Amino acid sequence: MIKKVLRFIGKVLLYFFGISIGLVVLFKFVPVPFTPLMFIRTFEQMGGDKDLVWKHDWIAIDEMGIPIQKAVIASEDGKFTTHNGFDVKAIEKAYKNNQKGKKIKGGSTISQQTAKNVFLWPGRSYLRKGLEAYFTVLIEIVWGKERIMEVYLNSIEMGNGIYGIEAASQHWFKKPAKNLTKAEAAAIAAILPNPRVYKAKNSSRYIERRKNAIKRQMNFYNNPNYNGE
């Protein structure tokens, strides 16, 4: 009986590793067509009284322009180009804040957010966080920084039913992502903590303060060098 259980567990693990590694390799070359969060949001919209919205236009990183890349690094992960997928100091700081009962902050890097967005579901369980770490390591090894940024900016939620920077740019500023100004890119990056509540245009004082802070921070970054050279 024990041997059968162990064989079953072994097969499950073998299938899991095979499928997960296969998907990571596939998405190194193929655009990610949808994410679990996109489906969750769609079902939420269908269950409510709002119109169904799903806008998602995949573009290559060369078509995104530099401002939005610098803006999300400034707002979400200042060490993105140099860390190995995890910002240990940010995680320690988040843990201390949580222990003090302050507002929960995850300390997640862009790599971790990408792993979660593409392969997993929202939540804070230990299982989900463990799988997030596993996929983060995989994409750092297989994809590299440039591909992670490309997938991140094509998959992240940037409004109600708005996914990816091209759809967000068209939605908020009626222009292609490659034509976003520094201020417009900062405005989109500023709403990422809660893009279904905050607005990148005609925004609140809080978002305006965040936008201005991101713009100032962007001045400290050169054009992203994803090769570590």
Residue predicted with more confidence, 46 or 157: 157
Backbone angles phi, psi at 147, to 5 degrees: -70, -40
What mean pLDDT do residues 127-136 have? 95
Q: Token match 């997938």: residue?
A: 151
Note whether residue 17 is domain-resident: no
Note whether residue 16 is domain-resident: no
Number of domains present in the structure of the chain: 1
Which CATH number belongs to the domain containing residue 55 in this structure?
1.10.3810.10
Q: Token match 């001045």: residue?
A: 219
Q: What are 49-82's pLDDT values in tens digits?
A: 777 889 999 999 999 999 999 999 999 999 999 9
Note whether residue 141 is domain-resident: yes
Q: Token match 């991101």: residue?
A: 214
Note whether residue 129 is domain-resident: yes
Residue 227 has pLDDT above 90, yes or no: no
Note whether residue 228 is domain-resident: no
Give the pLDDT score at 102.
56
Q: Which residues span the domain enclosing 131?
A: 34-218
Average pLDDT, the chain: 90
Note whether residue 226 is domain-resident: no
User: Which of 23-27, 123-127, 200-204 is modeled with the greatest confidence?
Assistant: 23-27
Note whether residue 10 is domain-resident: no
Note whether residue 154 is domain-resident: yes
What mean pLDDT do residues 148-176 have? 97
Q: Token match 């245009």: residue?
A: 201
Q: What is the pTM of this model?
A: 0.91
